[in-house]
Chains A and B, each alone.
Chain A
Amino acid sequence: EAGVTQSPTHLIKTRGQQATLRCSPISGHTSVYWYQQALGLGLQFLLWYDEGEERNRGNFPPRFSGRQFPNYSSELNVNALELEDSALYLCASSQWAQYFGPGTRLLVL
């Protein structure tokens, strides 16, 4: 069974640009979660999608947005990038436990 996949693995952007991160869940999982993890820190909950709907979002500004597609894959968009957006972005899918992808390392210069 294929695990959660994320692309790209690394992304370098400059301040003010937009970034798009992608996630494909484990087959049969309908829930997708996004987390931000700054270097050396814990996971900060960003967004939760289930059955195509946004179910909850964390304490992040509106320039963090996303969507879930009919095949349950998901996209995270970060607009007007700031230096402090540099982090590891983790996606997880869930039926009961959360299973994580390898993450996307975003660097904003």
Chain B
Amino acid sequence: AQKITQTQPGMFVQEKEAVTLDCTYDTSDQSYGLFWYKQPSSGEMIFLIYQGSYDEQNATEGRYSLNFQKARKSANLVISASQLGDSAMYFCAMREGRGNQFYFGTGTSLTVIP
């Protein structure tokens, strides 16, 4: 089974609108971390936001928030007030508590339309 699943290969959003990028994960660990990364066309992977499995509050970082639903094993990224510079690939990732192994999803390509 895939550890991280991103079911949206591509998404479009109007500038200034909010958009949700889906991510589901699979683990039997109680302790794990969930991450989102942004990869613009330049290629560099930029760390956006982190959610720990024991965190009760959803993580927020500026316009980014992580909608964490533990029972459903989902960790969706919400980008509010989309900007043209948000156009990029977005990757969801998980680190399991037992070690430092990371698992990445296949990514979602987001295009912000002016």
A48 and B43 within 8 A (CB): no
A42 is contacted by which of B35, B43, B50, B106 (Cβ under 8 Å)?
B106
- Let me know if A14 is at the binding interface, CB within 8 A: no
| B43:A103 contact, CB within 8 angstroms | yes
* Cβ proximity bits A40-56 to B, threshold 8 Å, 1 near / 0 not: 00110100101000011
Among B35, B46, B102, max chain A CB count under 10 A is at: B102
Point out which of B42, B43, B91 has the most chain A C-beta atoms below 10 A from its C-beta. Answer: B43
CB-based nearest A residue for B107: A42
Measured CA separation A55–B42 after assembly (Å): 29
With the chains together, A43 CA to B106 CA distance in Å? 7
> Please, which residue of chain B has its CB at the minimum distance from the CB of A44?
B104
Partner of A31, one of B33, B46, B91, B100: B100
Contact A48 B35, beta carbon cutoff 8 Å: no
- Taking a contact as CB atoms under 8 Å apart, the answer to whether B47 and A97 are in contact is yes
